Structure 1
Amino acid sequence: MRFLRRRRADADAAEAAEAGADGTSTGAGPTGAAPLDTAPESGVTADARAKADEFWRRWEELLPEVAAALGEGAPQRFDHQLAEAVAGVHPDLTFSVEQGEEAVYALVISAQADPELRPYTDAWKAAAPEADALFEYHDSVPPVPDPTQVTVNLRDRRYALDEVRVFARVDEGEGLVDVAVYHPGFAGLESEARSALTFLPLDAALGERLAADRLGRVETAEAEPSGAVGLLEFRDLVRRLDDPNSSE
């Protein structure tokens, strides 16, 4: 097995991930690297709150155009304006418009697990309007409802995430989970693509924030480890660690 540091550039090497349902996405902003065990910083500044308020004022103005463009399948019509509005909160944030979990669409603003950016996404989320039938709002990339239904297109080949097996070792003292990830497709991939196929299932199962807060060491496994579980069982384990009172 090989120890990996979390590298967002590796995940970006994936050409697409499909969850079995049509969605719309658009994004802008640089990607960054962050260790998985980075804890969030506390304290939202007045500057962050002011920038968040300005974003939501601008969003209210853009919303009719955004809704019309999405309805016509032309998200590029608002991409530049929305990118400028997000950059006004912080230039290093990324955004996407995805299929919503309960609403039709979800606007996702991500700090890419960077603790220095978290106060800006915290302020943005705190000032967000209530979700409605059209839009819901997330301050990190949410988990896929059922990651075992996802197929990743990587290097012109398809990899089903229901074949992923994860060996998890809980460090109760640190509140982290060290993992070894196995996929039978690893054997045919070079190093960077293998790294992408290691992290993509973890992000799909846990979502960006839970993965950043609760994953420690991440390794690829050349053979399926004894005691490994599927992604849904793995997600339940991490969620119980994160919230012992959770019924999930």
Structure 2
Amino acid sequence: MGLFRRKRSGADGVGHRGDDGTGVAAESTPVGDAPDPRTPWPEQPVPDDPHAAAAEFWSTWAELLPHLSAALGEGDTERAENLLVEPVAAVHPGLQFSVDRGGRAIYALVVSSREDPELRPYTDAWRQAAPPDDAIWEFHDSVPPVPDPAGVAVNFAGQRFDLDDVRVVAQVDDDAGLVDVAVHHPLLSEVDEFSRTTMTFLPLDVTLGERLAAERLRRVETAVAAPDNAITLVEFRGLVRQVAGLPADDGPRGDDADDGDGGAPR
């Protein structure tokens, strides 16, 4: 599932780890063409005009579509994503992206700023210039929630984390409109600290979507021991959406219509 293998748009383009710690398989490079590992990657320029950069991306997208369709038709998502590394980096080298299964279309292209305010103008411009969603492609400027987190399993750190086993304890600050949360999974006691942190935050992004999680979650802690008064991820989503003044569920993507992205359809 592409959501868990987000690719950075940085200079090398392949073999990165996203901030969520999940790996991206590197495309093999012929030995004779391998760069000196001591050579630093060149610093990529940041475009001055997000709207011009977005327009250039969508022009390139139209040219790449036949090649993307061919790669995806062969089931080669990695090849399709590698075609997009440089075009996304040209929008801004700090962005992350993935090609996922769509909620309404067959495929979804997700380009994420990771809610970094310095990157957000670039994803805003990118989304505003995007073509309308159709039966084949839909476009997202942040990682959307999955319809049913209980049906998701993540293979990570040599373990299979079934998100149906995640339990959370949530404390709502009504005055601030924010939620503090402790996240528990039975396998968190069996992995290292980095993996534990990753698998604390990942279920929250999966459940709420990246943007709603960034807007409404304040303190996030790991609960290695099973806590009392815990709720499921689906119940947690309903609670956070209530705090945000959103409907409990408004479609396959959960927070698409009302997540503050300017009303752009997804």
TM-score normalised by structure 2 residue count: 0.75
Change (3 A) 1:201 1:75: closer
State the one-letter code of the partner of 1:246.
Answer: P
Confirm or deny that 1:28 pairs with 2:8.
Answer: yes
Higher relative contact order (CA closer than 8 Å, sequence separation 6+) = 1
Question: Which residue does the alignment assign to 2:179?
Answer: 177
Q: Distance in 2 between matches of 1:186 and 1:149?
A: 19
Change (3 A) 1:166 1:137: same
Q: Distance in 2 between matches of 1:207 and 1:151?
A: 16
2:49 aligns to what SS in structure 1? Answer: helix
Change (3 A) 1:90 1:23: closer
Q: Distance in 1 between matches of 2:138 and 2:106?
A: 8
Equivalent residues in 2 for 1:36-115 (5 A)? Answer: 47-115=49-117
Deviation at 1:245, TM superposition (A): 4.9
Which runs of no fewer than 5 residues in structure 1 stay unpaired?
1-17, 34-44
Question: Which residue does the alignment assign to 1:144?
Answer: 146
Deviation at 1:168, TM superposition (A): 0.6
Confirm or deny that 1:126 pairs with 2:128.
Answer: yes
**Alpha-carbon deviations, 1:198-241, whole Å to 9, x = none?**
11111111111111111110011132222210000001111122
Deviation at 1:74, TM superposition (A): 2.8
**Alpha-carbon deviations, 1:132-170, whole Å to 9, x = none?**
111000001111111111112122221211111111111
Change (3 A) 1:148 1:181: same
Which runs of no fewer than 5 residues in structure 2 stay unpaired?
11-17, 21-46, 250-266
- Greater shift, 83-92 or 68-77, is seen at 68-77
1:24 touches 1:98 (CA, 8 Å); kept in 2?
no
- Percent identity for Structure 1 against Structure 2: 53
Deviation at 1:27, TM superposition (A): 2.8
Change (3 A) 1:123 1:240: same
State the one-letter code of the partner of 2:90.
Answer: G
Confirm or deny that 1:166 pairs with 2:168.
Answer: yes
Matched residue pairs, number?
216
1:145 aligns to what SS in structure 2? Answer: coil
Deviation at 1:247, TM superposition (A): 4.5
1:24 touches 1:97 (CA, 8 Å); kept in 2?
no
State the one-letter code of the partner of 1:212.
Answer: A
Q: Distance in 2 between matches of 1:191 and 1:70?
A: 36
2:58 aligns to what SS in structure 1? Answer: helix
Q: Distance in 2 between matches of 1:26 and 1:213?
A: 21
Deviation at 1:173, TM superposition (A): 2.5
Q: Provide the aligned C-alpha RMSD in A.
A: 2.4
Question: Which residue does the alignment assign to 1:190?
Answer: 192
TM-score normalised by structure 1 residue count: 0.80
1:130 aligns to what SS in structure 2? Answer: coil
Question: Which residue does the alignment assign to 1:9?
Answer: none
Deviation at 1:79, TM superposition (A): 3.7
1:106 touches 1:136 (CA, 8 Å); kept in 2?
yes
Q: Distance in 2 between matches of 1:32 and 1:161?
A: 19
